[in-house]
Structure 1
C-alpha cells in the first residue's frame, strides 16, 4: 500500500464518525464528499476549541511555558495563526490574506482576534473543498504532497496543539474547553 493510499485511508477512518454525524444531520456534502466534509467539520470543531482555550487563558499567563525548552502559550497561539494561513491555503490553493505580523508578546485580545481571523480564512478557503482532488499534489514545505496528506497533517497538527494548550491550562488550574460539562 502506498503512503498516499495509507494516508487517505487513515484520514477516511478518522473522519468516519464525523461523516456519519453529518449524514445523520442531512448534510448533502457528507454523501458526495465524505472525506472533505469530515475534514471541514473537524476543522470547525478544532477552531471552536482552540479559540475557546485562547479566550479562557488569562492574559498574564500567555507567557507561561512548562519548561524553558517549550513554547509559551502565546507562542502556540502565534504558531496556530501562522499555521492556519499556511495549511488552509495549501489545501485549498487559496493564498491567505496579507496580515501584519503578530508576536507572542502582543496583547491577548489582538492574538485571539487574529486567531479567529485565520480560522475564518480556513472556513472560507475550504468551503469549496471536495473529494475529487484528494490525490492532487499541492505545494508544501519540504516538497509537494497530496491534498489528502496535507489535510491529514493539519488534523494532527490541530490535535497536537489542542492537547498542548489543554495541558498548559491544567497546569494553571484551568479546565480546557473539552473538559467542561456541556
Structure 2
C-alpha cells in the first residue's frame, strides 16, 4: 500500500504515517531475520502478471527517486488503473490530487510567464523561457505548500539566466573579471569600476 501511495504521487499527504510504518516494518524485518535480508523469494519478470511485469520493468529501469515525481505519478496512475485489484478510493484521490496540483502549477506558470514577458520587454537579450525554468524547479518542489519556493527559485534561475546572457553578449574579458571579483567579494563598491 505504501508503494502504491508513493507511486501515485500522494505520499506527501501521509508522510509521517508512512515514516512510522516503514520504521516498524524495518525493525520487525531485522528481528525476524537476525539482521539479514531474505532474498530467497525474489521472482523474475516472466513469472509476474503483465501489469505487474510492466511496473517491475519500469521500476528497474527508473526508480521512484530518480524520476520527476509528477511525471512518475502520472505514469503510475495509468498502470495502477489497469490493475484488476486497484483501490477505487486511492485511485480517485490520486487523480484528483494530480489534477488539482496540475491546475495550481499551470496558474503559477502563467503568473511567472507574465513576469517573464515583462522582463523580456525590458531586456531584449533574454532568450530562455519561463516554462523550462519552472519545470526544472517543479521536479524538485512539486508539493502545493512549496509554491513560494517554486516561484522564488524560478526567479533566481531567471536572473541567473539573464546575467549569463548579458555576460555572453556584452561582456568583455576585463569587465567580466571585475564583475566576478565584485560578485565573489560581495563588495558593491567595485561595481562603480564597471
TM-score (norm 1): 0.26
Question: Which structure carries more relative contact order (alpha carbon 8 Å, separation 6+)?
Answer: 1
Instruction: Give the helix-richer structure, 1 or 2.
Output: 2
Q: Normalising by structure 2, what TM-score?
A: 0.25
Rg larger for:
2
